[in-house]
Amino acid sequence: MAQRTFRSGLLAGALALTLIASACGDSSEGSDGATKTTQKSTDNAALDTTSCGKLEYDKDAPKGGTFTDYAFMADSGTNTSFDPGVVQTLNESQITTSLFDGLTDFDFSDKCNPELKGAVAESWEGNDDATEFTFKLKKDQVFSDGTPVLASSFKDAWERAGSAKLASPYGYLIAYIKDGDKLQAGDLDTLDSIVADDDAGTLKVTLASPNADFPSIVSHPFFSPANKKDLAKIGQTTGWGTKGLTIGNGPFMLESATTADADTTLVPNPKWAGNVYGDTEVHLDKLVFKASLDVETAYQTFEAGEGDDAPVPSGKYKDALAAYKNNTVEDPNVGSYYFDFGEDDPQVGGPENVKLRQAISLAIDREEINTKVYEGTRQISTGIVPPGIPGFKADLSKYTKLDVKEAKKLYKEWQDAGNKLTKPIRIDFNEGGSHGDVAQIVQANLKDNLGIDADLGGVAEDYFKVVAEPGGCQLCRAGWYADYPTYGNFMVDLFSKASIGANNFGRFENADFEKAIKAAQAETDDTKRGELYNEAEDILLNQQTATVPLVYYTGGQVFNDRVKNFDQPPLGIMLWERVAVDG
């Protein structure tokens, strides 16, 4: 990958991120004069078949009408809040990103070469060591109630999002900012390291340590602005619908949202300033998110003629592909499906159980999972970080293939060292969708290939809270769609010490890993930063084997024939402002 400057960012996309992804072509000259490089993976033939493509959009698609969504709120038991300060799931983010626009966002017109552009920010500039960034805001930005979006709208929102009282699952993100850890701990209420000058329209941020990816990181909903009236009403509390922040500056505004198991209805925001693609108008008159009990119920409802989209449940992928030409079933997403080991669990955690973890990973038949659960529509993982992320390295993990002979060898070596299992391993997963089907295959693989007994530990509600608690994870299901296409979004957000209690479900903590990710964050050269993150992932997957990669995500939704512009960017967030219905 070519080195890119991190010192300034302009609307034209001077901070274009070039992705190392398969089948994307060779070096080419970008419009800004910088050399953009993509390369084919030569290590894994299957990954070479991944298609990048262009984001399809018909600007002349019909205007008006109502879109009724059954795809994204299909498991109401996991819904907690779409408040930007606490939103945690891809499903709820569909609502959040419709209501709020942040400082920056990614243009995925070329899916393999997304460009980081200014959303509310007109430009940004960083110092030489990536410890300080100043964002210049566009003029005349307003919330849906007509009040201005100011630099202080971001400062106030960030301090609230990172506060100890709110206890956001993404609260660790505030620790990127100087003294953010003290804010998160409750020792501070405000941060002098964030200087908001409303008159000048600038937001100056001093970081706790060098982080060249910070302009990308602030594209996360956590860093959305807050309306002062809304913030005064909600404070450092949250919940579903109007129990959290809802007055935003995005393409839609909230009409109604009562409980997590009821409809959420959005309507166009007439004061919306537009997105990074240049769109300034919403096609739909109304967007309704229907909450279902589970994926199967949502799909059955769609098949019965209700709604405009649905999630595809286990065992229905080929049928869905045949029945619905409008679908994202095989469209690659920048996401990873995996299981974590509980670092604090006496049976599987700790340095003494590394060989046990390696044996378990080698005993799992990922092809069986892909065939039986996803009907061959997903790509087998070769690591946690998927294709489409700068620095991606194919076949990085030594333990993501089925090798029963080696698994038995490692298991015996672990036993010969005086170790033994005293009770069945618990496989934790959130009920609904296909997670139980995956867990059953893992359970059978462990018994058939290693003679290890395992119990299924399905969780019906609040899974992501339950599993993040101490002792909540033994061998627990996890999954991640990138918030922004950076390597750190996987390594730091999922496995750093700072994210324990949040997205680090296995509570993984390792000094060498922390050293590697810190060095990667400080590196301003793209190629070198990718290599440092490769070293971190090697520690995670091979030296410690703290997690079990299974498959990379695909879209997995089907749409009514009348739906236009349903093409989904690789991050999995729909561009709802572009979605249209015919009739």
State which H helix or E strand residue 481 sits in.
strand 475-481
Tokens of 486: 């950076």
* DSSP-derived 3-state class of residue 488: helix
Q: What is the pLDDT of residues 162-175, one digit of tens each?
A: 999 999 988 989 99
* Gyration radius of the chain's alpha carbons: 23
Mean pLDDT rounded to a whole number for the chain: 90
Question: Residue 117: CA atoms inside 13 Å, Cβ hemisphere, count?
Answer: 18
pLDDT over threshold 90, residue 338: yes
Q: What is the pLDDT of residues 129-143, one digit of tens each?
A: 999 999 999 998 999
Q: What does residue 19 show for φ and ψ, rounded to 5 degrees?
A: -95, 135
pLDDT above 70 coverage of the chain, percent: 91
Q: What is the pLDDT of residues 427-469, one digit of tens each?
A: 999 997 789 999 999 999 999 999 999 999 999 888 998 999 9
* DSSP-derived 3-state class of residue 62: coil
pLDDT of residue 147: 98
Q: Taking phi first (over 0 means left), then psi (-120 to 50 degrees means alpha), and beta for anything else, what does residue 418 get? A: left
pLDDT over threshold 50, residue 74: yes
Query: How large is the average pLDDT for residues 244-257?
Result: 98
pLDDT over threshold 80, residue 123: yes
* DSSP-derived 3-state class of residue 333: strand
pLDDT of residue 52: 66
Q: Name residue 280's amino acid.
A: T
The answer to whether 569 touches 111, Cβ cutoff 8 Å, is yes
Tokens of 322: 């045949």
What are the beta bridge partners of residue 554?
332
Structural domains in the chain, sorted by start: 8-289+556-581 (3.40.190.10), 332-554 (3.10.105.10)
Q: What is the pLDDT of residues 405-423, one digit of tens each?
A: 999 999 999 999 999 999 9
Question: What angle is formed at CA 154 by the lines to CA 148 and CA 159, rounded to 5 degrees?
Answer: 135
C-alpha to C-alpha distance for 256 and 538, rounded to whole angstroms: 47
C-alpha to C-alpha distance for 310 and 297, rounded to whole angstroms: 10
Q: What does residue 456 show for φ and ψ, rounded to 5 degrees?
A: -90, 125
In 3D, which of 553, 532, 541, 552 has the Cα closest to residue 508? 541
* DSSP-derived 3-state class of residue 301: helix
pLDDT of residue 51: 52
Q: What does residue 54 show for φ and ψ, rounded to 5 degrees?
A: -105, 150
Q: What is the pLDDT of residues 512-525, one digit of tens each?
A: 999 999 999 999 88
C-alpha to C-alpha distance for 407 and 358, rounded to whole angstroms: 7
C-alpha to C-alpha distance for 32 and 12, rounded to whole angstroms: 8
Tokens of 224: 């959305």
C-alpha to C-alpha distance for 265 and 333, rounded to whole angstroms: 26
Tell me how far the alpha carbon of residue 383 is from its chain's centroid. Answer: 16
In 3D, which of 317, 308, 310 has the Cα closest to residue 564? 308
pLDDT above 90 coverage of the chain, percent: 81
Q: Name residue 48's amino acid.
A: D
pLDDT over threshold 80, residue 231: yes
* DSSP-derived 3-state class of residue 306: coil
Q: What is the pLDDT of residues 525-568, one digit of tens each?
A: 889 999 999 999 999 999 999 999 999 998 899 999 999 999 99
